A = this chain, B = another copy of it.
Amino acid sequence: MMGEFELIRHYFAAAACARAGGDVALGIGDDCALLALPAGEHLAVSSDTLVAGVHFPDPCDPYLLGQRALAVSASDLAGMGATPIGFTLALTLPAADPGWLSKFARGLDAMAAGCAMRLIGGDTTRGPLSMTLTVFGRVPAGQALLRSGAQPGDLLCVGGALGDAAGALPIVLGEREQGTAEAAALLRRYWLPQPQLALGQALRGKASAALDISDGLLADCGHIAAASGVLLCIEQQKLPLSDALVRFAGHDQALQHGLTGGDDYVLAFTLPAEQLPALQADGWSLHVIGHVAAGTGVQLLNADGQAITLASQGYNHFSG
């Protein structure tokens, strides 16, 4: 008979990522974990839920799921420019399957090591498969990357290729075969997104606004536009699309994925133009895809600078 506590202790507390240390004064095993923050730093907090059949296919490889779940949540820390500390895992399972838990914990552990994050606590409950990860980071007071600081004249940039994860969906769902190199590349982007934590920290004090793209470029640019009270102009032909995506999906569908597909977890940010050269000199791979103007909302421009009507604003839960 293995109870909730034994479960957590056995499969998660034993994981390398569960060791206390650094900013974690007390880890798993008491009513609360305790975090110590350096003076002058704020704690950044974000909670994300993944539901089986909604946010990931069920069944799926628990190792990949563990990796992806933490990457998705850690990406919110990247969007704030925060230095990662740790996370709590609230895991709801239909049954306690040791094989599943062991693989899931190893996947989680691999991503935690890559992000320098520690598992500091959580909850294990019985029910339909889902999980909520709450991630913690720290950022010097006043230096967090908000959505609200974009100014007319700023450049609009993204931190990497767009649309790969959306392009991978037909493969993830088993609707297309995965035997090609392109399919493998897209699947990696879906299952193993790389939260741009280092880029986020490099943008502190430089970017005027930032977020991580989880709902699709258009929808997420809409969030910056609304929070900042500006117009974001996106030049469609500047969208970075991977060769794998264009070969796999064709150019038109690749462009659609890049505009509205979610789940890439690369940063979108606005940047005063004078900040660009130093960031490029430091070796950051940035893609300037447009600019900020006076106005409201998001405008998509074709190669002639003409506005294109927007048919879709990206993915939204509960939307009709």
Chain A residues near B (Cβ < 8 Å): 1-5, 7, 25-26, 29-37, 39, 42-55, 76-77, 79-80, 82, 88-90, 92, 95-96, 120-128, 130, 132, 134-137, 139, 141, 144-148, 210-212, 223, 227, 316-320
- Nearest 7 CB-CB pairings of A with B: A3-B316, A51-B127, A31-B79, A132-B132, A32-B44, A47-B88, A90-B132
A144 to B35, CA, bound (A): 11
Contacts A/B (CB < 8 Å), 19 sampled? A3-B318, A26-B144, A30-B148, A30-B211, A31-B77, A31-B212, A34-B45, A35-B45, A36-B43, A37-B37, A45-B134, A47-B90, A47-B122, A49-B127, A49-B132, A51-B127, A125-B130, A127-B130, A128-B128
Q: B47 touching A121 by the CB < 8 A rule?
A: yes
Nearest CB on B from A200, distance (A): 9
Q: Are A76 and B132 in touch, CB under 8 angstroms?
A: no
Pairwise interchain contact B32-A46, C-beta atoms closer than 8 A = yes
Nearest B-chain residue to A136, judged by Cβ: B45
Q: How far is the CA of A37 from the CA of B47 in the complex (A)?
A: 19
Query: Which of chain B's residues have a CB closer than 8 A to the CB of A125?
Result: 49-51, 54-55, 130, 317
Q: Is the CB of A43 within 8 A of B48?
A: no
Residue from the list B33, B51, B147 in contact with A44, Cβ < 8 A: B33
Most interface-central of A30, A35, A95, A148 (chain B CB within 10 A): A30
- CB neighbours of A49 from chain B (8 A): 90, 92, 123, 125, 127, 132
Cβ contacts under 8 Å, A227 to chain B: 29-30
A32 to B83 CA separation, bound complex (whole angstroms): 12
Asked if B26 and A146 make an inter-chain contact with CB atoms under 8 angstroms apart, the answer reads: yes
A87 to chain B, nearest CB (A): 9
Note all chain B residues with C-beta closer than 8 A to A318. Answer: 2-4, 7, 95-96, 124, 126
Since A34-B144, A92-B130 are in contact, a sample of 11 more A-B pairs with Cβ atoms closer than 8 Å, ordered by chain A residue number, is A4-B318, A25-B141, A29-B227, A30-B144, A32-B135, A37-B43, A47-B88, A49-B92, A90-B90, A124-B317, A124-B318
Partner of A137, one of B32, B53, B139: B32
Q: Which residues of B contact A212 (CB under 8 A)?
A: 31
Q: Which residues of B contact A82 (CB under 8 A)?
A: 32
- Given that A3-B317, A123-B132 are known contacts, is A42 also in contact with B35, CB under 8 Å in the complex? yes
Residues A1 and B320 in contact, CB atoms below 8 Å apart: yes
Which listed residue, B36, B132, B141, touches A36 by the CB 8 Å rule?
A: B141
| A30 near B121: Cβ-Cβ < 8 Å | no
The complex places the Cα of A221 from the Cα of B162 at a distance, in Å, of 53
Residues of B within 8 A of A50 (CB): 125
A317 to B53, CA, bound (A): 24
Query: CA of A44 to CA of B96 in the docked complex: distance in angstroms?
Result: 28
Which residues of B sit under 8 angstroms from A7, Cβ to Cβ? 318
Residues of B within 8 A of A2 (CB): 318-319
